A and B are shown apart, each in its own frame.
Chain A
Amino acid sequence: MDASVGLLNKILDCTAMRQKVLAHNLANVNTPGYKRMDVEFRAALNAAIENPDIPGEKPMVVTDTASPGRFDGNNVSLQKELGEMNENALLFQFAARAINLKFDGLRKAARGRS
């Protein structure tokens, strides 16, 4: 299949995974001592751009200890998580629409008319 579909697929995978992790952070917003987690998928996407055909690196779940914590040791911030989640959902939406466009084009080509 076309390389761009593979790459968009990877974006869908990574953003779906990140949505999960961000939802986990929000679920644990009141858990004492909980440290927020995030998904690092820049490396995985770069690998997918270089070699679209091999599966390559997987996105990594990392624990974020750098963000300042509250007095109970929890460092989840509601507004930050919601912001990241919106941004992530936009990226997912972009990839989904782009794949749609791609398939639309293929469909038109197969039918031989627009």
Chain B
Amino acid sequence: MPSLGISATGLDAESRRMEVIADNVANAHSTAGPDGKTYRRKEVVFTSHLENAIGGGNRTLGGVRVSDVIEDPRPLRRDYRPGHPDADSDGFVTMPNVNMVEEMVDMMSASRSYEANLAAVRTAKAMANQALEILK
């Protein structure tokens, strides 16, 4: 895979991560989803990827891939809200296990990593342009 392609997989993966973080933040107070259950925090799983070179046994670099989006198994929070329609008989509502601070830190990390991949794109582009200069 060319250098630009590798950086593109990085940009892709980081923006997917950003989507999942946005979903977590948006659903930080969703007590019932489409299946009627409380929302659980989601997380992306990144795996490094190697692809087979055409016709050869040796593997070339293939960037990164989002292999899975998993649900956070940590326990859900329980808040006392007797007036809430989703409250149980004791008046407790099960709240999502989303921690805002954690999401913000994750978001910063995603945005910085995205920028780093962009910098790699810029460098690769500059190098290609300099190589083209040889033709002049």
| Complex Cα gap A90–B3 (Å) | 16
Q: Does any Cβ of A come within 8 Å of B133's Cβ?
A: yes
- With A31-B64, A78-B112, A96-B133: A26-B123 Cβ-Cβ less than 8 Å: no
- State whether B127 touches A92 (Cβ < 8 A): yes
- State whether B7 touches A31 (Cβ < 8 A): no
Q: For B13, what are the chain A residues with a Cβ–Cβ distance below 8 Å?
A: 27, 30
- State whether A100 touches B63 (Cβ < 8 A): no
- State whether A30 touches B109 (Cβ < 8 A): yes
Contact check: which of A26, A89, A96, A100 meets B7 at CB < 8 Å? A26
- State whether A29 touches B113 (Cβ < 8 A): yes
| Complex Cα gap A99–B130 (Å) | 11
Q: Does any Cβ of B come within 8 Å of A14's Cβ?
A: no
Q: Does any Cβ of B come within 8 Å of A19's Cβ?
A: yes
A contact face: mostly helix, strand, loop, or mixed: helix
Q: How many residues of chain A are within 8 Å of chain B by beta carbon?
A: 31
- State whether B2 touches A20 (Cβ < 8 A): yes
Q: Smallest CB-CB separation from A29: which chain B residue? A: B113
- State whether A28 touches B64 (Cβ < 8 A): yes
The interface of chain B, by Cβ under 8 A from chain A, is: 2-3, 6-7, 9-10, 13-14, 17, 46-48, 61, 63-64, 109-110, 112-113, 116-117, 119-120, 123-124, 126-127, 130-131, 133-134, 136
Instruction: State the 8 A-B residue pairs at the shortest beta-carbon distance, nearest first.
Output: A27-B10, A96-B130, A31-B46, A24-B61, A23-B120, A20-B3, A27-B64, A23-B6
